[in-house]
Every structure is written in structure tokens, then in C-alpha cells.
Amino acid sequence: MTEPSLELRARTLRAALSRRAPARRAPGFARPYAAVVAMLDVLLADLDEPEWTSAAAGEWDARDLVAHLYASDGLLADAIAGTTSSAQDVPARTAEAVGRRLPLRETRLEWRRQANALCDAMGEIDADRRLEVGGFRLCIGDHFTARAFETWVHTDDIGRATDRDVPPPLAEHVHPMADLGARGLPVALALIGRDHPDRVLRLILDGPGGGQWTVPLGTAATGDAPDAQVRMDVAEFCFLAGGRRDPETVRAETSGDPAVARDVLVAASFFSGP
């Protein structure tokens, strides 16, 4: 017999899933988060000790980054559950989590456990409910997209630092992240004091998960005719938004009102954390 048996198929799949659990099942809005959590988890499972403790983003090593993700995820978990288990802002909560210096394995397991619990709790949640988390008031769906995005950025940080070629998330998971970034631009412009309330931006993001957005930059903007256009790769836009690219040097084609285009690139990274 030269064909593998059906029994072998079942046995192989069982063995694989018992060694690495699949991504947590979650409703659509939380699926990008569940997927990126699986991407980071399988990367962490492969790291040896020196890789865990070599710098991955600034001064931070993989252990600090995972503790930071645990802290930020915890804020969202608290807000959804309506509890306050500890500090309610990201820096304080991160300092607390990083300061505990848990063993490496435990750092990963604790983060993963909380991430799984977050996904599990989403079954009967209204994704449109608005919540304030870490100073930002967004609907739960957008909060999840933001968590997926930050988890991706740090997965990429750790992959780069440890010489592993980490691909971007799936196109259908990148798209909501890019969309959140695009929608956030008017607020970001206002917060950095460079608002253009009467202008309309056309944002074209190329590559898997990209798309086209027409963004009125304020309430005074009328019509759909864009005053400025920014065109760039969707992954570059995401890395810019994640604070991993310099607005001055990031690869982007701009046209129309140059001040709007320039300010949009600066504003894009406004929401990025460490």
C-alpha cells in the first residue's frame, strides 16, 4: 500500500493540535486578534533564552514586550468586565507587568491565557458598545482591532530581533487595521495641532489588505473631491502607524495640498505606543 491511511491523517492532526492549539474561535471582529495572538505564540514557543532576552524594540526584549501586551490586553479585559484589577493606564500597568520579571515560560502562558479568555468572552458581546480604555473611547470591535495591530507590531519586532521571517497577517486581518488607522486620522491631526478641518484626503493603500479611503478631515469638509492624496503600501502604512517608520522617510507618493499630505503622515503614528 503506497497511500497513507485515513487513520494516519486523524492521528497526525490530533498529534499536531495537541502540541499547538489552533487560534481561538472568535466572532468576526475579534478574529484578527485571535489570529495574531496565534502568530506571536508560535514564535515565542520557538525562542531560546538568549532570544527572549535580547533587545527587540528599543531597550525592550521579548519578555518586556509580551508583559506590555499582557498589560494592555488586561486594560481591555477589565473595561469589558467592568472591573478594575490594577492600574488603569497603559504605562503604569506595563511597568507593573514588566517589573514582575516572571519566568519566560510563565510570561508567555499568562499572556496567552488572558488573550484566550478575551476571545472566549466575545461570544455574547455587542461589538458596537463604546468603551473607554487607556484614554481612548472606541467601540469594542475597534479596541480589538487595535489590540490585534499592536500584537502584530511586536510580533514583527521579535521576529526581526531573532532572525525569523514573520509574514504579515492575512489580508482580511490587515484590512480592518488599516481601516482603523485611516478613520483615526482626523482625530490624530487635531490632537497634534495640525488639523485641516475643511480638507478631504484620499488614502490609497496598496497590497494585500489595502484599499481606498476618502477621509473628510473635519466637519467643515464638503464633498468627496480630495484636496490631497497619499498613496503607499498598506504594510508600510501600518508600520508607520505603529511607530516603526519615520514620517519623513517612509515610502509614500503624495499629491495635492502638500501640507495636508505631510501632516497626515506625521499624524498616522500618533496613536503608536512603545
The site for other proteins (CB under 8 A) is made up of 1-5, 8-9, 11-13, 15-17, 19-23, 34-39, 41-43, 45-46, 159, 164-170, 173
Minimum distance of other proteins from residue 241's CB (angstroms): 20
Biggest CA–CA distance in the chain, Å, is 74
CA atoms of 205 and 59, how far apart (whole Å): 31
Residue type, 254: T
Minimum distance of other proteins from residue 132's CB (angstroms): 30
CA atoms of 77 and 113, how far apart (whole Å): 12
Minimum distance of other proteins from residue 27's CB (angstroms): 16
Nearer to other proteins, 17 or 55 (CB): 17
Nearer to other proteins, 159 or 243 (CB): 159
Q: Give the strands of the sheet with 211-216, arranged side by side.
A: 211-216, 200-206, 228-233, 253-256
Nearer to other proteins, 39 or 178 (CB): 39
Nearer to other proteins, 17 or 192 (CB): 17
Grid cell listed for 36? 495574531
199 close to 227: Cβ distance less than 8 angstroms? yes
Minimum distance of other proteins from residue 122's CB (angstroms): 16
Nearer to other proteins, 38 or 79 (CB): 38
Minimum distance of other proteins from residue 8's CB (angstroms): 5
Nearer to other proteins, 26 or 203 (CB): 26
Minimum distance of other proteins from residue 23's CB (angstroms): 3
Query: CA neighbours within 13 Å on the CB side: how many for 12?
Result: 6
Grid cell listed for 75? 486594560
Nearer to other proteins, 167 or 193 (CB): 167
Cα angle, residue 208 at apex, residues 261 and 117 outer, rounded to 5°:
100
Q: C-alpha distances in angstroms, 186 versus 191, 218, 221, 231, 264?
A: 9, 6, 11, 17, 9
Minimum distance of other proteins from residue 58's CB (angstroms): 23
- DSSP code of residue 1: -
- SS3 state of residue 139: strand
